Structure formats: structure tokens, C-alpha cells
Amino acid sequence: METEKKVITNPGGEYSVVLIPNDMIESLKEKFGNDVLWIYDEESQELTLIKKPQSYTDALSGLGAEMWKQGEGGTEFIRREREQWDD
């Protein structure tokens, strides 16, 4: 797959546009379907593509369950986290 990477930057330099080749888009559609979430991490400057879940509730169900089972439990964890918040 030989493609040319093109990057276009606006005059103010506030953002960049990366053109993704059509064959790559078609490959992503085959893998994920048409419902894809594009998530950009500012800190790492990485773009992540994930398949959009049919149900966010089902996808997030049980998230953090390990935290509630650890040593002091989730309530203590939340208390410590809140103590670190700025007023």
C-alpha cells in the first residue's frame, strides 16, 4: 500500500489536518463498521479509533469494580482523592 502522506496546517498553526488514504478508510470501515469514535489525546498527541458501542451503559458496566474491592475500598479512595482537590 503505497500512499502519499499530506499534512496541511492552517496559517495560525492552531491545528493540523492529516489526509487519510481512501484504502485505509475502507479497511477501517471493514473492521469497525461506520460507527467509529475518533479520540485524540492532547498530551500524547495520539489518535485512537474504537468501535462505537451499541450501548454505553453495557460497555461501561463494571468499570472500576477492582477499585471498590481493593484494601480500604472505594469510599476511602474517593475520600483521599477529594482531599487532593484544589479549593
What average pLDDT does the chain have? 78
Q: What is the pTM of this model?
A: 0.43
* Distances, alpha carbon 67 to alpha carbons 41, 43, 72, 84, in Å: 24, 25, 9, 18
Separation CA 14–CA 76 (nearest Å): 42
Residues 10-22 pLDDT 10s: 667 666 677 788 8
Beta bridge mates, 19:
none
- What average pLDDT does this structure show over 54-65? 86
- What average pLDDT does this structure show over 75-84? 84
Separation CA 42–CA 1 (nearest Å): 29
Residues 23-49 pLDDT 10s: 988 888 888 888 888 888 888 888 888
